[in-house]
Structure formats: structure tokens, C-alpha cells
Structure 1
Amino acid sequence: MTTYSLTWDLDTIFKDGSQSQQLKQYVEGTERRISELEVNVESFTAPRNTDQVEEMSEIVPQIQTIIKELTEFGAFVSCLNAQDVHDKKAGLWLSKQHELGARFDNVMTKFDQKLVQVDEDVWNSMIKQPPFKELAFILDERRQLAMDKLDLRQEALINDLGIDGYHAWGQMYDILVGKMTVMVDEESLSVGQAANRLSSSDRNIRKKVFDKLQEAWSGQVDLFSETLNHLSGFRLQTYKHRNWDRVLKEPLDYNRMSEDTLNAMWGTIEEYKQHYVPYLKKKAELLGIEKLSFYDVEAPVAKTEQTMSFQGGAEFIIKQFRQFSPKMADFAEMAFEKGWIEAEDRAGKQPGGFCTSFPDSEQTRIFMTYSGTPSNVATLAHELGHAYHQHVMNELPVLNQGYAMNVAETASTFAEMIVADAAVKHAASEDEKLALLEDKVQRGVAFFMNIHARFLFETRFYEERKQGVVTSERLNELMTEAQREAYMDSLDEYDPTFWASKLHFHITDVPFYNFPYTFGYLFSMGIYAKAVEIGTDFEDQYIALLQDTGRMTVEDLAKKHLDVDLEKPDFWRHALDLCMADLDEFMKLSS
């Protein structure tokens, strides 16, 4: 039997890490191709009729090659920085990535502006013809989004200033967090290692670690309020000049999702969320306390620690995947065997977990800190879901591989659900079933309460930020108010510095890095219900759905593959009814 490594193998992509000569040569090649594209786009004239599209048909393949290479480079840099926060050379590569990204953004802005100049009739005819037909959705999307932006010089200036402004603030946050340590019982832990201990069954340990983390984050809030205020300030100024009056425009466009869909989702959750309050009370009773605090919400209800070795967790996941999808199980097994996963529990790593894709190598890498908890097993399955999503996209043109966060979270949450549901069904005892069922119910609390708190916080923060800088004290207040509302005032103690500790608020890719998680969870519930109904015959239908995620809106995706309307509450109610079934079963079993 193969023994799976806890550390990943990056040498199969670029040998020697941040010192790699192979990486240096690769990036130099990408730089040359960007320079060539700049010249070609500069001389490119928007076609006046369908007979003049040859030049554009030569530029599009160049664009796809550069996107593939920049993504490959960026993924490798993210891996270097995550595995060792003290790798200074990796930090230099990150700066290089931002520089090349800005150059490419500028040339794409110029290209998009020229697409706008194409006459509407010519455009509509052109995108129905090869070689543009298979890229029609993406090209049309780029053209429509360009119509909403400023002129070429202004957009280029925004991109250039973003390197040492916008993106630099996000990079500053990552550096500060990476260097933070937390002393627990005379042991120096990274914030990621400390956060893992919040899932301990011992409340004294949870309380001690929570207090230590609060102390650590509170000591940095003035710095982190600077990063958050300047990130949001940069965005708001950009929106102002583009005449965008809604802060949700960018994240909704990015997620190819309508505001009606978002409102239907949150509105339906508000109808159902009260059902989780009795669960939180029951959990407090099972834990032997009067009322849960924030650090109790994710605590296991089992009296003893349930841990699983990395090897055991890997084999468990592969087995459960196989019962739904042999292809997904084979992929997961390959990922473990080839060392695509960094899971070692050690200091010096960034907190959190992610999956990143290497489209040129057609590989993926998964990053996390694995300590054997049920939550770690769930995270591992979650990230493998992301990896499988990219795996089935590899055969498509790279422009059609650009799926948004909400449908990305669908694939990952779906994979997580397969493992969780199978574990409950095959529980060896009622105690084990209760613990596993509670883990499923806990996901509902995370997506409908924790994520909702993040959404409420960010919505209100942006409104106040329009009036000026928001102090760290006010940020703490906004966070506590949002948590109190989202959890329906059912907790005894909240986490005021959550805005500082949660990386998602400081990511520069896109704001509102929250509601797509909830969308993905509920959308995957609908997919899972169909998969259970059809069985393994659904495997190919599932792959077809994933392959469409980069080339249509979520509303069209749902209509085509599930025959549902996401802008109406019916779908969301059906998905939430499935969540209620788990909740009801837990309440009966726990009584």
C-alpha cells in the first residue's frame, strides 16, 4: 500500500523552489510574449466587417497562452509563499507576479476597448463563426464589461497604481499575518496552528486559545484597519470614477450572478434560519454549558477527540468518492500518490487552506494544515473537489476555464458533502452518528450564520467607508453587530476582531469573498439531490455541468442542467429543506 506524503512536490513544476532557474526562464518567456501582445494589440484595428477578423483570430490564441502561463506562475508563487512565510525570494516573485499581471491587465483593457468599437451587427455575426464561436460567451462578456469601464488611459492608470497601492496592501496583510505567533502553554504556534485547536473537545483549551488569538489580533488591529481601509478606499474611488453606484456590482459581475438571485438566496435563508437556534441551544446543553460562545460553535459534541491520520483520511475520502464517481476517486488517488498536497502541521506556514491550478502543467496543488480532526478531513475533501473541477476543465480552451468563485465553491462543497453524507450513513454507533450528523448541521450554521455575518459586516462597512476611514474600534463594533444579528442573538460571546483575522476581507482579487460560499453550498445541495436520485449515471452529467461553469451565467447553468430558476425562492427552499432534514434528525437523535 502506498504511503502518502504530508508535504507536496513542487519540483515537478519548477525545480528548486524560489531559487529555480527553470522558473526564471519560464517567466522571461512570458514577459516576451506579453511584449509581443502589446505590439499586436496596439496595431490591431477593430474589424468593420466579418472579412476583417483574421488579425483578431491571431491575437486570441496569444491571449490564451499568456493567461495559461501567468496562472501557472501565480499558482507556483502562491505555493511558495504559503509553505514558508520566511522565504524572502518568494516575496520578490510575488511582486513580479503583480507587475506582469498589471501589464497584462493593461493590454487586455486596450484589447477590450477595441472590442467595444466593433459594430454591433458585425460583432453578433462574428462570434457565431469559428474560431470565436466556442469562446462567444467570454468574448461577449469582456466586451459588455468594457462598456461599463473608463477609457483606456484611465483604466491603465488604475491597473498601474494598483501594484504599489491596492495589491500592496493585500500583500502587506499577508506578510504581517505570516509573522504572527501565538504562545499557548509556552508553545509558539502560527495563527493557523492555533486556530486548529479551537476544534478541541476541551472547552478550557478552546477558551484559552480563543483568548490568546484575541490578544494577538487585538495587538495588530491598528495595522489591519489600515490595510482594510486602504483596500476598500481604492475600490470605492475606482467605482466612483466608473460611475458604479453599487459596491455589489463587481462581485456580482465576477460571479456571473444577478442581484435577484442573491436576494432570493438570502431572503429564503432568513425564512429558515430560526430553525438553527434550538440546535445551538441543544448543542450548549450537550456541551454542559448554559449558552454557546463563538469558540464553542464548531466544537465537537463527542466527549473524546476523534482524530484520523492523514493516510486514513485520504483512504476514507477516496472510498466515499468512489461510491459516487469512480473518475473523481481515481483523480483523488492520483493527487495523493503524486504528492500534490501540502498538509504537514508545522510552524512557518500561512493559515487556512486552498487549492490552486497549474493549467500549463495540467496539475493542481492543495494547501492546508492537517491535524487529524473531522474538520480537517472535510477541508481535504473540499479542496479535492476544487482540484477535480479544474481537472475536468483542462481539455477546454483556457478562456473557457475561468469559472467564478460561487460555482467553484459548488464543486468543492459537493465533494465535502459526499464524504459527510456517506460517513453518517455508515456510522458504527449512535454516538458516532450523532457526532458526524452534527458536523453536517454545523455546515449550515457556517454558511447561513457565519458567512451571513461576513456579508452583513462587509455591506455595512462599505457604506461607512464611503464617508471616510473607519476606526478599528468601529470595525470591532460592526463585526459584533453583524455576528449578533446573523446568529440571531443566540451566542454568549462573539469575535469582535474576526474582520482582522479573516483573510477573505483583505483579498484583492474581488470584494465580498463570502456569499459565493453560501451559494455554492446550497447549489451543491440541489446537484447532490439529483445525483442521489440518478446514481452513478449522473457522473457524466456532473462533469458536463462543471465544464459549463466557465462559459455561462449561474442562472443559465442552473436552468440547463437542473431545470430550475435561481431568481425565485423555490429552488432555495428545496435545498434548505434538505438541510432541515439533517437538522431534524440531529435533534431527534440528540434527545
Structure 2
Amino acid sequence: MEKMGYQKNWNLDEIFQGESKSDEFFIHLKRLEILLQDLQRCVNSFTTPLATNEVANLLKIVEDIGEVRIHLSQANSFITCLLAQNTKDQEAVSLRGKVAQLVSYFEKEVSKVKKVLANTKQDIWEVLIEARELEDYRFILNEWRENTDMHLSDEEQNLIADLMADGYHAWGHFYTALVGSINVKVQVEGEEKNLSVGQAINLRSHPIEEVRKESHHALESIWKEKEELFAKILNHIAGFRLQVYKKSGVKSVLEMPLKDNRLKEETMNAMWSVVSKYKRPFSNYLNRKAEMMGDSSMKAYNFWAPINNSVQKIGYDEAAELIINHISQFGTELEAFVKQAFHEAWIEAEDRANKSAVPFCAGFPLTGESRVFMTFGGTFLNVLTLVHELGHAFHNYAMKSVNGLNKSYPMSIAETASTFAEMIIFDAALKKAKSKEEKLIILDEKLKRSVMNFMNIHSRFLFEQRFYEERNEGIVSSSRLNQLMEDAIYESYDGSLEQPSKYSWVWTPHYYITKSPFYNFPYTFGYLFALSIFAKAKEKGKEFEKDYLNLLRDSGSMTAEDLVIKHLGEDITSEEFWKKGMALCVKDVEEYIKLTSSNDTK
């Protein structure tokens, strides 16, 4: 049989021919402008409904909003791909600015609609929203109405928006620029190198311990030197956010993140409760790995260390076949989709200069396609990254038939399909592993993800929660931030991590994202949720694929709680649900401990 050769460069011409000089893309932008003008005319004539016969007007507006959103998504995804494949594409940078203006224009019109809905009398609204024509939009319209801020006048909202652009968001940009400007001097195998922060952090997985250690201490020294400046940035971001919440009547700093993720607080609390009760198995894993490295406990700079210095290379074609074969064990529709992605060149995987360092999946809703971006270096970790992004692409595929207004799903659900795809590969790879050593390498990669979600992400949540409590009373000093971070890490890791970075609050960019606070708990939610779904899939076999697709399709039009009740028949406000996914992770620890019970790993 002739061996299949897969293209490493994606095909963007099927989307818009000509890349950043595409005439087709300029026509698309002109079409977008016309759609936005039409939307503006509709919005300007849309006043607070005074009667129940306004269904047609409301339906026209929501359909127009959905249409514009799809066209904007198509444009944004295209530019994201252009800039990722060539970070020096200045024409693409210019196009990004043009699309950003259209996005801002669109969001202002949507805000006007939300305000009108919020002003509608309750009795009229109850009749309107039950109209058959609005059935598909009922959830999101109710969400808009309930979550629209009515405490601020239009003038105050515009003022805050201006202050955010020039002040609040600027602090976030300043943080990114500051970190990007830092050089780190590190000795790497006898040679002193000037590295970026990202490059220095990447040395945490270097096979030589002395390199990992020196990189860790070099970074800690820089954070100590600049801690006062970073403390000011963090305090200003949090202070502004708290003032806006106070003006808007927001009572808790967790209120908005939970709404954005369509989660109840009791769901989040049930999840964290289970995580807290199952710290010991993962501490055991860390202790055993440390023991294998000749230490009594896991040093922070050794966490990402490979358990075996010999790295087995895997070619791209081999990786593609491996993914297709393993995915086929789950279901025929997922298998056919993954084959299409490889055969039709939806993946940019070439290892070359001037590419972005960040892997992603971009959805193109107008053409019903996706594009996956990464740099394939020939490792099993690269295989996992590739299948992770293909999982996101399959989620986009599942949403093809969904209207534009309901295609967007919250971050709490966003990592579900990607993590689920990883679990399929892990499960299949473990079954086919030919030696103890191969099994250990795979298990180690799985367990690193569990530790990150159950320990590291938990420490971020605890730190941010306690920081905001203290920031509400005034400025929090850098020394106090260090103490809060140390306490959170100790608690979340159950005391099993030695020499952790008390400056994690400095180099973790999520704390400085101005779009949303608590950019942490959704990761753990998505991870455990996917594991619970995977447990269900293992019970039902290939027949589960249909249920899985239906779950993904509904992910943009209901709360997380309702989604799981409808498709899995389970209550995620209960700890019992979260224990099912956790049980799979604990089983991984037990297998790891068993395999390392002797020095013979062959």
C-alpha cells in the first residue's frame, strides 16, 4: 500500500484567495460594512416594545446580528491566520485594524439592543419571548436582558468605555510589553544565552537539571528586581475593575466571571470541593517522580522535566496516521472529519521562522471550515497539541447548522472537545504501548495535565480570590502579594512542591487580562467535564458519538447545568458528577506508582 503524504502548509486560498492582498477579502469587508449599516438602521428604529406584536421587528434584528457576527468571525479568523503564518505581514496588521473598527461598531449596536430589551416591561417581555418565531433565540435574549447593566447611564457607559481604552486596557498592554522587553541571561550547556522570558520558561522541560535550575533562579531574580512595578500594574487593573463593579451594582468579584461562563456558583464550588478532597493522589505522583530523580520532594523547576532523556521522534505523516487510527475508535463522524482536515490541508504545521509560537484553531463559519495552526517538531507532545486543536475544529464542525447568534460558547465549555480528543489519543496510546518506559512517558504527560488543573489552576483561583478581598480595602503591597501566592501554592499543592515561585503572580499573564478576571477555574471545569464525558463514552462505545455531537451543538444556547442535564442526565451542582472524571485521573496515578515500583522500566 502506498504511504500517504500529508501537506504541512494550510490552504487559505479556499477561504479568500490572495492572502493579505486578497481582492475577495476586500469584497468581504465591503459586504460587512453594508450589513452593519443595515443593522444600524434597524437598531435606530427599534424602540422599547410597548406591545406584544413586535415579534417580527425583534426577529429581524437578532437575525441581522447573527449574520454580521458570522461575517466578522470569518474576517477575524482569516487575519489571525495571516498573522500567525507570518508575524511580519504588515498588510495583515493594517487589515486587523480595519476589522477591529468594524467589531467596535458592531458591539455598540448590540449594546443598544440589549438596553432596549432590558427596558421592556416584564409582562410584555413574557409574551414576546414565548413567540414561536423566537424559540431558537430565547436563551440568549433572556441572557442579554438579565445581564445588561442598568445602573449606568449611556453617558457613564461611554465614559467608562473611553477610560478602559486609554487606561484600564492600557495597563494590560503595558504588562505584555514589559514582559516582552525583558532579557534573561542563562547558561545553557556551557554557553551564556540572552533569552526572552518565554524562551527561559521553556527551559523548564530541558533534560539537564542544572539548566532548569539556573533558568528558574534567573527568572526569580528578575521578578524580585521588578516586583514593585508589577505590583502597581496589578493593583491598578484590579482597582479599576472594582470601581466599575461598585458603580454597576456588582456585589461579588466572581459574579461576572460566573455569568460569562454560564455557571452557577454552586457548580464551581462542587468542582473545587472534589478537587480539594483528592489532592493526596497527585501529591503521591509528585513525590514518586521526585524520588525517581533522586530527591525527597518535587522541586518546582523539575516538574516539567522528562522522565527519560531519550526522546523518540515521530514524523508528521506518522503522526497524522496515528491520530486518524486512534480517533477511529471513537466514532465514524469524528474520523471522517479528521481525515478531511488532513487531506484538504486545513493544518499549518511546518517548522519555520517568522511563525507565531501559539497553537490555535480558527473557525470559518461562512464556509463551514476550520484551520489549525501549530509548529510540528516531531514529539509526542506535538501530537497531543495537534489533536487538541483538531478537537476544537470538531466543535466548530458540530456547530455548522447552528444560527449565528448561538454559535458562541463560553470558555467553560470551550476546552471540552479539545481535551476530549486528547483523552482518546492518550487512551489508545496507552493500550498500544509496547513497554513500561513508553507507558510511563504517556502517563507522565497525562498526569502533568492533571496536576496543572487540580493544583496549579487551583492556586491561581485561591490567590486571585484572596487578592481581590484585600484589594477592596486598599493597595496590596508586593510583599503581601508574595505571601498570598506562597500560601495559595502550599494549600493547592498540599505542601508537595518544593521551592515554588512566589512570583507566580508576576509571570502568570492571566492575572493581567483586562477582559475578564478569574481566567482560571474554567480550565479545570473544561478538563474535568471532558473527562466525565469520556467516562460516559467508554461506557456506551461508538453509539455515544451522536449524543456527543448534540451536546456540542447546544453548547452556545444554554447554561452548563442545563446542557449536562439534557445530554447526560446528570447534575453538575453535585460532587458525584465531578468524582467520575476525577476517578480516571486517580487511576492514572495508581498505574504510574505501580509501574515505578521497581527500577526496571523496560
Considering the TM-score relative to the shorter chain, is it more than 0.5?
A: yes
Specify the alignment match of 1:144 in structure 2: 146
Task: After TM superposition, list the pairs within 5 Å mapping 1:324-363 onto structure 2.
Answer: 324-346=330-352, 348-363=354-369
Offset, 1:379: 2.2
Describe the SS at the equivalent of 2:131.
Answer: coil
Which deviates the most, 223-232 or 525-534? 223-232
Task: After TM superposition, list the pairs within 5 Å mapping 1:107-118 onto structure 2.
Answer: 107-118=109-120
Specify the alignment match of 1:511 in structure 2: 517
Report Cα offsets for 1:170-224 as digits up to 9, x if no partner. Answer: 4444555566665654566655555444323332343344445556666766665
Specify the alignment match of 1:381 in structure 2: 387
Which deviates the most, 498-507 or 126-135? 498-507
CA distance in 2, matches of 1:72, 1:178: 29
Offset, 1:90: 4.4
CA distance in 1, matches of 2:522, 2:551: 17
Report Cα offsets for 1:480-529 as digits up to 9, x if no partner. Answer: 33222211221222134433433333334322121111111111121111
- Is the 2:54–2:128 Cα contact (8 Å) retained in structure 1? no
Q: State the one-letter code of the partner of 1:552.
A: M
Offset, 1:245: 1.8
CA distance in 2, matches of 1:164, 1:263: 36
CA distance in 2, matches of 1:564, 1:455: 26
Describe the SS at the equivalent of 1:549.
Answer: helix
CA distance in 1, matches of 2:58, 2:442: 55
Q: State the one-letter code of the partner of 1:74.
A: N
Describe the SS at the equivalent of 2:284.
Answer: helix
- Is the 1:192–1:352 Cα contact (8 Å) retained in structure 2? no
* Candidates 80, 94, 99, aligned match of 1:78: 80
Task: After TM superposition, list the pairs within 5 Å mapping 1:138-287 onto structure 2.
Answer: 138-146=140-148, 150-175=152-177, 185=191, 191-192=197-198, 194-214=200-220, 225=231, 227-287=233-293
Offset, 1:332: 2.2
Offset, 1:86: 4.6
Which deviates the most, 559-568 or 4-13? 4-13
Offset, 1:329: 2.4
- Is the 2:149–2:248 Cα contact (8 Å) retained in structure 1? no
- Is the 1:198–1:299 Cα contact (8 Å) retained in structure 2? yes
Report Cα offsets for 1:141-192 as digits up to 9, x if no partner. Answer: 1111116653444334433443334444444445555666656545666555
Report Cα offsets for 1:426-484 as digits up to 9, x if no partner. Answer: 11112211221222222211110011111122222323333445455554443333222
CA distance in 2, matches of 1:42, 1:332: 45
Report Cα offsets for 1:557-582 as digits up to 9, x if no partner. Answer: 11111111111211112222222122
Q: Does 1:439 align with 2:441?
A: no
CA distance in 2, matches of 1:70, 1:230: 32
Describe the SS at the equivalent of 2:329.
Answer: helix
Specify the alignment match of 2:571 in structure 1: 565
- Is the 1:105–1:159 Cα contact (8 Å) retained in structure 2? no
Structure 1 pair 216/415, CA: closer, same or farther in 2 (3 Å)? farther
CA distance in 2, matches of 1:174, 1:11: 33
Gaps of 5+ in 2: 598-602
- Is the 2:35–2:68 Cα contact (8 Å) retained in structure 1? yes
Which deviates the most, 333-342 or 254-263? 333-342
CA distance in 2, matches of 1:12, 1:168: 37
CA distance in 1, matches of 2:349, 2:181: 19
Which deviates the most, 293-302 or 513-522? 293-302
CA distance in 1, matches of 2:228, 2:10: 36
Offset, 1:536: 0.5
* Candidates 49, 52, 67, aligned match of 1:50: 52
- Is the 2:4–2:317 Cα contact (8 Å) retained in structure 1? no
CA distance in 2, matches of 1:85, 1:261: 41
Gaps of 5+ in 1: none
CA distance in 1, matches of 2:465, 2:182: 28
Q: State the one-letter code of the partner of 1:315.
A: E
Task: After TM superposition, list the pairs within 5 Å mapping 1:402-417 onto structure 2.
Answer: 402-417=408-423
- Is the 1:102–1:163 Cα contact (8 Å) retained in structure 2? no
Q: Does 1:464 align with 2:466?
A: no
Structure 1 pair 167/93, CA: closer, same or farther in 2 (3 Å)? farther
CA distance in 2, matches of 1:20, 1:168: 32
- Is the 1:190–1:351 Cα contact (8 Å) retained in structure 2? no
CA distance in 1, matches of 2:504, 2:310: 28
CA distance in 1, matches of 2:350, 2:168: 32
Report Cα offsets for 1:321-354 as digits up to 9, x if no partner. Answer: 1110222222223223344334444555544433
Which deviates the most, 545-554 or 20-29? 20-29
Task: After TM superposition, list the pairs within 5 Å mapping 1:311-322 onto structure 2.
Answer: 311-322=317-328
Q: State the one-letter code of the partner of 1:37.
A: L
CA distance in 2, matches of 1:84, 1:211: 33
CA distance in 1, matches of 2:45, 2:433: 65
TM-score by length of 2: 0.89
Q: State the one-letter code of the partner of 1:554.
A: A
Which deviates the most, 515-524 or 158-167? 158-167
CA distance in 2, matches of 1:403, 1:145: 16
Task: After TM superposition, list the pairs within 5 Å mapping 1:97-112 onto structure 2.
Answer: 97-112=99-114
Specify the alignment match of 1:298 in structure 2: 304
Task: After TM superposition, list the pairs within 5 Å mapping 1:490-529 onto structure 2.
Answer: 490-529=496-535
Report Cα offsets for 1:27-57 as digits up to 9, x if no partner. Answer: 3432343333233212212333332322222
Specify the alignment match of 1:482 in structure 2: 488
- Is the 2:467–2:481 Cα contact (8 Å) retained in structure 1? yes
* Structure having the higher Rg: 2
Structure 1 pair 505/73, CA: closer, same or farther in 2 (3 Å)? farther
CA distance in 2, matches of 1:147, 1:137: 18
TM-score by length of 1: 0.91
Which deviates the most, 246-255 or 457-466? 457-466
Report Cα offsets for 1:264-302 as digits up to 9, x if no partner. Answer: 110111111122112111001112233222222222223
CA distance in 1, matches of 2:170, 2:94: 12
CA distance in 2, matches of 1:212, 1:51: 68
Which deviates the most, 196-205 or 265-274? 196-205
- Is the 1:199–1:300 Cα contact (8 Å) retained in structure 2? yes
Count of residues paired in the alignment: 591
CA distance in 1, matches of 2:530, 2:310: 31
* Candidates 64, 67, 81, aligned match of 2:66: 64
- Is the 1:109–1:156 Cα contact (8 Å) retained in structure 2? no
Q: State the one-letter code of the partner of 2:565.
A: K
CA distance in 1, matches of 2:62, 2:335: 35
Specify the alignment match of 2:542 in structure 1: 536
Q: Aligned Cα RMSD in Å?
A: 2.8
CA distance in 2, matches of 1:354, 1:173: 23
CA distance in 1, matches of 2:206, 2:119: 60
CA distance in 2, matches of 1:146, 1:180: 41
- Is the 2:55–2:131 Cα contact (8 Å) retained in structure 1? no
Structure 1 pair 78/510, CA: closer, same or farther in 2 (3 Å)? farther
Q: Does 1:424 align with 2:420?
A: no
- Is the 2:470–2:476 Cα contact (8 Å) retained in structure 1? yes
CA distance in 2, matches of 1:267, 1:585: 24
Specify the alignment match of 2:600 in structure 1: none
- Is the 1:98–1:167 Cα contact (8 Å) retained in structure 2? no
